[in-house]
Amino acid sequence: MIQEFENLEPQEKELMMGLPVYVAVLIAGADGEIDNKEVSRAIYLANDKMKHARKDLIPYYREANQDFEDKLKMLIANLPKDVKERQEILVSKLKEANAGFKKLPKKFAIELYASLKEIAKSIAEASGGVFGYMSIDYEESKLIDLKMIKDPSL
């Protein structure tokens, strides 16, 4: 298990390990449709973060992103199709993570939060817009800052 998670309860650890998948599905489905470009981008990012994340986060991503594609597809299949219901569930999960973030070493918490926001932004940009303009739609723009997670740097 991740050294920084030693002070977390088992359910908090499990929730923290699921954050990349929760963020991916929340952002990919923000506009009502989870398209193949967003899924592909999420899978690419998961694999990339296992090697090229901030140095302190690589062990986290190596563990959290194992079988990422399967976890992503399973979560999508098990969540409601209704956008509002799906978002409520995912936002609630991300809010629950605040308790875990408080127990993490501050530097690690700040880096993880920033990294999750990078994932959100990259997935939001995956579908693109018209000629690259407005590549993040309005619904995604309301969520990419992950404001449901309290900024650990404050």
Q: Compute and round to an integer the Cα radius of gyration of the chain.
A: 15
Query: Is the pLDDT reported for residue 138 higher than 90?
Result: no
For the chain, helix, strand, coil in percent to 5 are 70, 0, 30
Which pLDDT does position 31 carry in this prediction?
Answer: 85
Tokens of 91: 């936002």
Tokens of 143: 């969520």
The number of helix segments (H) and strand segments (E) in the chain equals 8, 0
Write the CA distances from 36 to 41, 73, 127, integer angstroms.
8, 11, 9
Residue located via tokens 């901030």? 54
Could you read off the pLDDT of 78-135 as tens digits, one per residue?
Answer: 999 999 999 999 999 999 999 999 999 999 999 999 999 999 999 988 865 544 444 6
Query: Which residues, 6+ apart, have CB-to-CB distance to 51 below 8 Å?
Result: 58
Which pLDDT does position 129 carry in this prediction?
Answer: 52
Show me where the domains of the chain are located: 8-141
Residue located via tokens 């408080």? 102
